[in-house]
């Protein structure tokens, strides 16, 4: 897997949501190396959504500059938290048996 597998249009992450997505994806891929593809995919998405929630929590809930204002709602934060939690659950429940070894007697 590569970082591009997780970014739109192939994946579900929009690079515009993140300050610097590629290093985050590279680090998550390296950290989950050796996992099954299903677990690695879930781990990378979990880490990305976890980072997104952390970034949102560190930003003001409302900002105004010149004629532009930006407001974040509690529902938006809850949505991203749910995404992180869902991918963590997928990671925790995914098989730890590599695909090539399934059904192979050792």
DSSP 29-62: HHHTTTS-HHHHHHHHHHHHHHHHHHHHHHS-SE
Residue 54 lies in a domain: yes
Q: Is the Cβ–Cβ distance between 42 and 19 less than 8 Å?
A: no
Q: Provide φ and ψ at 28, rounded to 5°.
A: -65, -40
Return d(Cα 90, Cα 1) in angstroms, integer.
17
For 24, the domain range is: 3-59+69-97
Total count of domains within the chain = 1
Model confidence pTM above 0.85: no
pLDDT per position as a tens digit, 1-51: 999 999 999 999 999 999 999 999 999 999 999 999 999 999 999 999 999
Q: Is the Cβ–Cβ distance between 29 and 44 less than 8 Å?
A: yes
Residue 64 lies in a domain: no
């Amino acid at each position: 897997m590569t970082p591009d597998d997780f970014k739109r249009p192939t994946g579900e992450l929009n690079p515009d949501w993140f300050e610097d997505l590629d290093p985050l994806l590279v680090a998550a891929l390296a950290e989950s190396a050796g996992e099954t593809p299903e677990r690695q995919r879930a781990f990378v998405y979990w880490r990305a959504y976890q980072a997104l929630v952390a970034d949102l929590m560190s930003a003001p809930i409302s900002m105004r500059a010149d004629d532009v204002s930006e407001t974040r709602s509690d529902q938006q934060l809850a949505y991203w938290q749910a995404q992180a939690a869902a991918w963590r659950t997928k990671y925790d429940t995914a098989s730890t048996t590599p695909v090539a070894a399934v059904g192979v007697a050792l």
